[in-house]
Amino acid sequence: MYRFLIIFLMLSLSCGEHKPEPTMEIQKNKKVVIAHRGASGYLPEHTLPAKAMAYAMGADYLEQDIVLSRDNVPIVIHDIHLEMVTDVAKKFPKKKRIDGRFYVIDFIFEELKQLNVSERFDPVNDKAVFPNRFPVFTATFKLHSLQEEIEFIQGLNKSTGKNIGIYPEIKEPEFHRKEGKDISKIVLKALNEYGYKTKKDNCILQCFDAKELKRVRHEFKSELFMVQLMEFKSDEKLEEIATYADGIGPWIPQIIKGKDKNGKWQITSLVANAHKLNLKVHAYTFRADQLGDFDSFEDLLQVALYEANVDGIFTDFPDKAVAFIDKKE
């Protein structure tokens, strides 16, 4: 694992195009690249090697999905479950709940650190979700806490002179609440302890739960830059979102529809309407190995970034996105 870190940090140090700035990337009116779960197109998602690789590739932000352990440690993992990215079924078979799933919240941090992390797979047949990515359960990767990842990124910012931001997501706050835990309070405390408190700090906080984001803004009085993630909503609630958030995170189909009879991609009004309310738009998820009806990854990037005019993208392939934007701008 550590060979990955050495190689990609060397690459990072050799890249001189991304110079440190005192302000957040989002405030410079440039197209930003958010490494979706790290460089997850190349290495197992949300592992430190995947984050190191994304850092070296020039991503502007590294994403952290956050779920709580039983002992209230914020863990960087995409799901509240473990069985699709770890060997939990082999290590702790008795911890399976009645629904057949293994929940992060049922494990203390020391137990979670015993698990090996893999490329995402189907636990029924052990086949990779993305067959052409890193082989399932090859090499050694581990889970880690939000604090450990922040220290890792801040350490790299110091040693490289860069200013790469973090992009944490509060996962399923209602589920955590039912389990007796206030995930937002714990996450905000950790962010504050590491200097992420206001919009001047290079941190963007995201969540799908609108009630929770409102709570973070109003009850906890957070001054962080916040993005309301959107799944199937239209732009009819944008004015309400603008009262508590600074941006939206829509799904690609909410922005780009099919082609018309002349073969031209149809762009919805969502981005334009968001911009009228001074909301930034960061769309998800851009994958070079999952193109849908697009002819190429570059074609998808061109339509989203420069025809639909989104402000940034979440991508599993940050190197390809950075190279495309650098060439265009």
What is the secondary structure of 170-223 as a DSSP string? E--HHHHHHTT--HHHHHHHHHHHTT--BTTSSBEEEES-HHHHHHHHHTS--B
Structural domain includes residue 16: no
Q: Give the C-alpha separation, 49 to 1, whole Å.
A: 7
CATH number, domain containing residue 45: 3.20.20.190
Q: Is 169 helix (H, G, I), strand (E, B) or coil?
A: strand
- Tell me, what amino acid is at 154? Q
- Return the pLDDT at 232: 75
DSSP 248-266: EE-BGGGTEEEE-TTSPEE
Strand intervals (E) in the chain: 32-35, 61-68, 74-76, 121-122, 127-128, 165-170, 204-207, 225-229, 247-249, 256-259, 265-267, 280-286, 312-315
Structural domain includes residue 272: yes
Q: Give the C-alpha separation, 242 to 314, whole Å.
A: 21
Q: Give the C-alpha separation, 80 to 39, whole Å.
A: 21
| Cβ pair 290, 41 in contact under 8 A | no
Mean pLDDT by 10 residues, the chain (329 residues): 50 44 62 98 98 98 98 98 98 97 98 98 95 97 98 98 98 98 98 97 97 98 98 79 97 93 92 97 98 95 98 98 95
Q: Is 313 helix (H, G, I), strand (E, B) or coil?
A: strand
Residues 6+ apart with CB under 8 A from 120: 44, 45, 84, 85, 128, 129, 130
Structural domain includes residue 108: no
Q: Give the C-alpha separation, 187 to 209, whole Å.
A: 15
Structural domain includes residue 301: yes
Domain range for 52: 2-8+25-79+145-328
Rounded to whole angstroms, what are the CA distances from 88 to 76, 85, 136, 137, 233? 16, 9, 14, 12, 35
Structural domain includes residue 94: no
Structural domain includes residue 140: no
Length of the chain: 329
Report, as residue numbers or ranges, the catalytic residues: 36, 78
- Return the pLDDT at 18: 42
| Cβ pair 255, 304 in contact under 8 A | yes
Q: How many domains does the chain have?
A: 1
Structural domain includes residue 98: no
CA dihedral sign of residues 249, 250, 251, 256:
negative
- Tell me, what amino acid is at 24? M
Structural domain includes residue 93: no
- Return the pLDDT at 258: 86
Within 13 Å and on the Cβ side, how many CA atoms surround 257? 8
Phi, psi of 318 (to 5 degrees): -60, -30
